[in-house]
Structure 1
Amino acid sequence: MSLKPQPVSVFGAPTDVGAGRRGASMGPEALRVAGLVEALVRRGVDAVDRGDVAGPRNPWQKPVDGYRHLDEVVAWNRAVMALASAELEAGRMPVMLGGDHCLAVGSIAAVARHCRATGKRLRVLWLDAHADFNTSAITPSGNVHGMPVACLCGLGPDALVHLGGPGPAISPSEVRQIGIRSVDAQEKRLVREHGLDIYDMRYIDEVGMKQVMEEALAGLDANTHLHVSFDVDVLDPAIAPGTGTRVPGGLDYREAQLMMEMIADAGGADSLDLVEVNPALDKRNRTARLAVDLVESLFGKSTLMRD
């Protein structure tokens, strides 16, 4: 299957309102400094930078009823959803630069609504160290960046569950989670109850990334919209230190490259989140530069002599 030639619209959502540490708000600029748009243009992609969506400042308050900054999280996600929806309607691929991973509620709500309107099936690849399936009742922190998958699947506050219309936006059967290695005890119970399809690091170690991606991409066809939600903490901290939720034992460089190349081989993504880059914790923008390298592979750059 060849890569889809759709034009790309990059936009930033510079907030860390859903996170537990400050700094992800600087992620969009770090990715721009690392040359993301220029790298896509060099690959022949019609890529434009739409600038940043706007939202409220991070008030840095304690949780209320199990959520930190819920009103602010909702406002940012509405802004993300609005811009992503406009780009999808214009026939362009939205690439959302976070910011923290709570913003995927808005981007995926837009994609899910677009799929319903166009009669397409949806597949979400969630590349992350965490399942992000917490709820207000079980969250250890109240940070909403640990809840977006649950919210999208109908477990969360009404303002997020119904963000893009009557929820839930997606079903667990539409999600494939890759690279998971940190799941809270109560969250594990919820994940099992809802049947999330998880390819954790042990499974990747046992069968290899090639088989994992073959399974995660199985069944894709021309009528499937593929959304990739890429949290840089899926990568091992040794190669990607610039993120606020580092977990040892993540993907190494070759595993990550193969993952992205196989997505490209399957036809590529139709929408993309690139989140949790925290330059305040990074070394000379190393994590953003690696993320750009991997996104190039997602758009067809091969590390091997097969072209």
Structure 2
Amino acid sequence: MAHAITVDIAPKPWTGRSDGLSPEHLRWHQVVQPHSANIPPGDCLLIGFSSDEGVRRNKGRRGAAHGPAALRSALSSMALAEPLVLQDAGTVVVSGENLEAGQTALGTAVCTALDDGHFPVVLGGGHEIAYGTYLGVAGAALRAPNTVLGILNLDAHFDLRADLIPSSGTPFCQIAEDEAAADTSHRYAVVGISQPSNTTALFDTAHDLGVTYLLDDQCGVGDRHHVEHFLDGFLDSVDIVYLTIDLDVLPASVAPGVSAPASYGVPMETIQYVCDRVAKSGKLVVLDVAELNPSLDIDNRTARAAARLIHRVVTKHVPFTHPL
């Protein structure tokens, strides 16, 4: 039996352009339903995470708390090549400065969704979303003993700071600490690291933790073979995958609406290719998207780019099946 998912803001009706009701005219807003324990798992379950407390703590530009609403709006009129079963569970809200409680609530929501057989897509919110999403995966039944968790981060930053106060810059350090304490195994890989945006100390931490990464200038359109080789090695080394997209991995011309726009960035073509490969791997169990700040966006460019990536992952996703 499916279970209720606890959120702070219930899902709201979706609206958008309508060209007709037949299958060849369908758009997201016409098929998204409020999550219900009576609806069987489908192709995607959306969970919002309204937070920019982690960005504030990381001394970034606030506004990512409005990301979930902007992402839903950008997704609403996207056309579907074929009908899908899409549900919206609503939004977890970080109240004031209580980030940790919000991350715990998000973890519970993601865990419930996974245990009920859904494919959760979490809409952020700052990149502090990552620790909440991880808590959900770590507690889910599919994280069986000896299961190697792969975390693939599309990001200009490692987010491996070892600060005493958690923020949007610390989630993957927190995850590494939790994994070590639980004596479980995970692989953390990053596509799009900007050398000028990460100190030598962060590169040293990545090395000490066995993090694999590609620099942004190794991810051009002409570097497809290099990116493919990197993905092959990562996917072959893990059992399940958590994909997290920090939108500041994209060039500022594509994604201006983030706390730290990229001066160089990874081309949309490369990020889209990575998303396609991971979605089709049969190992992807959860996706989250972070750092959209609508107040800094220009012509909704960032929201539209993010929505396209979410759309591709959802429509190309091959569901994970437990090994017999």
| Aligned partner (choices 85, 104, 111) of residue 78 of structure 1 | 104
C-alpha distance in structure 2 between counterparts of 1:216 and 1:249, whole Å = 22
Q: CA deviation at 1:40?
A: 8.3
Look up the match of 1:258: 273
Distance 1:174 1:50, change over 3 A: same
Look up the match of 2:94: 55
Per the alignment, in what secondary structure is the counterpart of residue 83 of structure 1?
A: helix
Distance 1:206 1:212, change over 3 A: same
Q: CA deviation at 1:88?
A: 0.5
Distance 1:17 1:41, change over 3 A: farther
Q: Any idea what the Cα deviations from partners look like across 1:66-112, whole Å, max 9, x if unmatched?
A: xxxxxx22111101101000000100011111110112111112213
1:84–1:107 CA contact under 8 A, matched in 2: yes
Look up the match of 1:32: 72
Q: CA deviation at 1:21?
A: 1.6
Look up the match of 1:176: 189
1:152–1:168 CA contact under 8 A, matched in 2: no
Q: CA deviation at 1:206?
A: 10
Whether 1:110 and 2:133 are equivalent positions in the alignment is no
What is the TM-score with the length of structure 1 in the denominator? Answer: 0.78
Quick one: higher RCO (CA 8 Å, sep 6+), 1 or 2?
1
Unaligned 5+ runs, structure 2: 1-40, 317-324
C-alpha distance in structure 1 between counterparts of 2:107 and 2:307, whole Å = 23
Look up the match of 1:284: 299
2:54–2:167 CA contact under 8 A, matched in 1: yes
Q: CA deviation at 1:179?
A: 0.6
Matching of residues 15-26 of structure 1 within 5 Å = 15-19=51-55, 20-26=60-66
C-alpha distance in structure 2 between counterparts of 1:210 and 1:297, whole Å = 21
Q: CA deviation at 1:286?
A: 1.4
Q: CA deviation at 1:282?
A: 0.2
1:153–1:169 CA contact under 8 A, matched in 2: no
- Kindly, what percent of the aligned residue pairs are identical? 29
Distance 1:42 1:167, change over 3 A: farther
Matched residue type, 1:149: F
Unaligned 5+ runs, structure 1: 59-71, 155-160, 302-307
The alignment of Structure 1 onto Structure 2 pairs a total of residues equal to 270
1:152–1:170 CA contact under 8 A, matched in 2: no
Q: Any idea what the Cα deviations from partners look like across 1:238-282, whole Å, max 9, x if unmatched?
A: 111010021211111222222222223433732001111000100
Per the alignment, in what secondary structure is the counterpart of residue 132 of structure 2?
A: helix
Look up the match of 1:191: 206
1:31–1:292 CA contact under 8 A, matched in 2: yes
Larger radius of gyration: 2
Look up the match of 2:170: 147
| Aligned partner (choices 76, 84, 91) of residue 45 of structure 1 | 84
Whether 1:200 and 2:240 are equivalent positions in the alignment is no
Look up the match of 1:249: 264
Structure 1, 47-56 or 117-126: larger mean CA deviation: 117-126
| Aligned partner (choices 123, 126, 129) of residue 156 of structure 2 | 129
Q: CA deviation at 1:214?
A: 3.4
Q: CA deviation at 1:202?
A: 3.0
Matched residue type, 1:47: L
1:240–1:286 CA contact under 8 A, matched in 2: yes
Whether 1:90 and 2:116 are equivalent positions in the alignment is yes
| Aligned partner (choices 39, 45, 68) of residue 9 of structure 1 | 45
1:24–1:278 CA contact under 8 A, matched in 2: yes
Look up the match of 2:25: none
C-alpha distance in structure 1 between counterparts of 2:288 and 2:275, whole Å = 14
Distance 1:35 1:119, change over 3 A: same
Distance 1:170 1:108, change over 3 A: farther
Per the alignment, in what secondary structure is the counterpart of residue 242 of structure 1?
A: coil
Q: Any idea what the Cα deviations from partners look like across 1:118-147, whole Å, max 9, x if unmatched?
A: 76432111111100011117xxxx671111
Q: CA deviation at 1:23?
A: 0.3
C-alpha distance in structure 1 between counterparts of 2:126 and 2:134, whole Å = 14
C-alpha distance in structure 2 between counterparts of 1:35 and 1:227, whole Å = 21
